[in-house]
A = this chain, B = another copy of it.
Amino acid sequence: MSVLTSGDHPDTASGATAANGTNGAQVDLGPATALSCRECGERFPLGPIFACTSCFGPLEIAYDFPTEGPEALRARIAAGPNNIWRYAPLLPVPADVAEHPNLNPGCTPLVRADRLAAELGITGELHIKDDSGNPTHSFKDRVVANAVEAARAFGFTTLSCSSTGNLAGAVGAAAARAGLRSCVFIPHDLEQGKVVMAAVYGGELVAIEGTYDDVNRFCSELIGDPIGEGWGFVNVNLRPYYAEGSKTLAYEICEQLGWKLPDQLVIPIASGSQLTKIDKGLKELIQLGLVEDRPYKIFGAQAEGCSPVSRAFKDGHDVVRPVKPDTIAKSLAIGNPADGPYVLDIARRTGGAVEDVDDEQIVAAIKLLARTEGIFAETAGGVTVGVTRKLLAAGVLDPAATTVVLNTGDGLKTLDAVAGTTGPSATIRPNLDSFREAGLA
C-alpha cells in the first residue's frame, strides 16, 4: 500500500495549504482539532493526509469534545436533524453541516427481531441495524457524507474513489448532490447493474483494464501526480475523515436503545475500519457520559472465502496474513484488510471473537432474515446473520443478552446470490382447479 503524507507529496498537500492557510488552523471541521497517529501519537494539522510522516501509522481525528454534560448533549442531539448530522458535535464537520447539500444518511431503523430471535434460540433482545435504508442503500453513505465535508473544507473540487460496488454509487450520488465533480475508477469487467449505479449520477466513470488491485495502484499514482491536484479520494487522502462516518452507527444504535450500550454487536469485516470505528464511537459515548460505562463484546464476521482476520483470531496471531478472496460476499472481499490487527485487538479486549461462514451459509442466512423479519440483506448481511447463528451454536454468543447485528447493504444489489435458489412455489393456469392441484390451497 502506498503511504502518502503532505511531506511526501507537496502537490497534493498544496490543495490543503491553499484552504488551510499555513497551519490548518483556518479549517473549520467543528470539534476536530488535529490528526493524530494511531501508532506513535504524533499530531498533524488537519489536512488531506492519512499516514504519519514519522512511523507511517494511520492517522485519526483528534477532537475537542463538548463539555456541556450528558443531559444537555443528549437534548442537543435529540433536537438535531433526523440523520447523522444530529451527531455533528462528535464528527469532523462544521456546526452548520446540516445546511450544506449532502445526502444526509443515517437514522436507519434498528429493527427489534423477535421472530429471528425465536428461530435462533435467542431469549434476550435481538436487533438488526438495517443500513439498507440509507440513500444509496448501504452504510457507505455515512462515510462518504463525512468525506464530502472534508473535501469542501480543503477546497477540493473533484470527489474520487476506487470501487467495485457500493462505494462507487455512494460517491457518484454524494458528489452530484454536493455539486462536486466526481471521477470514480472501477475494474472494466464489473456486472452491468453496478456499472449503471455508478454511472447514472453523471460523473466521470473510468473503467480500468485490470484487476481491482490495478485500479488501486493507479489511484495512488494519480494522487501523487499534478493531475490529482484538487482531488479528494474519499478512501485515500480523505480517509481519516471518511472513516469517522462509521462512528455514527455506534451513536445511533445506543440512542435507539434509549442511550444504552448493547451487550453484544456482530459487525462485518472488509478492511476492518467500520468495526474499529464503531468501537471508537462506543468508547466516546462512555467517555462523554452519554451511556453507562459497562462492558460490551464485539464480534467480527467474515466470509470463509475471504477470512484472513478470522483465521488470525483462531490461530492466536496478531498479524493478518493476506488472502486472495473467493466469496459471493464481494463487498467484504478485501484480502489484505488494513485494520485487521486493530480488529483482532478489539475482539480480544472486549471478550468477543471473529468467525466466518461459507457461501451456502450466507445464502441461508439471507433467506432466514428475509423470511423472519422482511429484511432483504445483501451478502454482507448474510455474513453477519450467519456468523450470529454459528456463534450461538458454539456457545460463544450469549443468547440471553441484548445483541445487535448489522446489515450494511441491500439485497437488490446482490440478487445473484439468491437468484438461483429463489423462485415461484408453483406455476399454474388461471383457474381454481389448477390452484388446488398445486397443493397451495
Contact = CB atoms under 8 A, between A and B. Distances in A.
A177 interface: yes
Contacts of A210: 429-430
Contacts of A222: 432, 435
B200 A411 contact: yes
A195 B429 contact: no
A248 B165 CA distance: 34
Interface string A223-236: 00101000000000
Given A202-B370, A209-B429, 18 more contacts: A115-B177, A174-B374, A176-B374, A195-B424, A196-B423, A197-B376, A197-B415, A199-B422, A201-B371, A202-B367, A205-B423, A205-B425, A207-B426, A208-B430, A209-B430, A210-B429, A215-B430, A217-B430
A436 interface: yes
Nearest to A420: B196
Interface in A154-177: 169, 172-177
The oligomer's copy count stands at: 2
A133 interface: yes
A312 B413 CA distance: 40
Interface in A371-385: 371-376
A370 B412 contact: no
Interface residues of A, number: 81
A227 B436 contact: yes
B218 A430 contact: yes
B374 A177 contact: yes
Interface in A94-140: 101, 103-104, 107, 109, 112, 114-115, 130, 133, 135-137
B440 A204 contact: yes
A244 to B, nearest CB: 21
A177 B430 contact: no
A306 B195 CA distance: 30
A214 interface: yes
B202 A376 contact: no
A195 B421 CA distance: 11
A412 B412 contact: yes
B82 A101 contact: no
Contacts of A426: 204, 206-207
A426 B180 CA distance: 19
A216 to B, nearest CB: 9
Contacts of A415: 192-193, 196-197
A51 interface: no
Contacts of A66: none
A179 interface: yes
13 contacts: A82-B107, A135-B375, A136-B376, A188-B424, A197-B411, A204-B425, A206-B426, A207-B424, A208-B428, A214-B430, A222-B432, A222-B435, A412-B413
A183 interface: yes
A221 interface: yes
Contacts of A282: none
A188 B177 CA distance: 39
A427 interface: yes
B135 A176 contact: no
A44 B221 CA distance: 73
A434 B424 CA distance: 48
B367 A200 contact: yes
A72 interface: no
Contacts of A410: 137, 412
A407 to B, nearest CB: 12
Nearest to A377: B200
Contact of A418 (B112, B200, B227, B373): B200
A206 B430 contact: no
A75 interface: no
A2 interface: no
A376 B221 contact: no
A374 B145 CA distance: 12
A431 interface: yes
Contact of A374 (B103, B192, B371, B372): B103
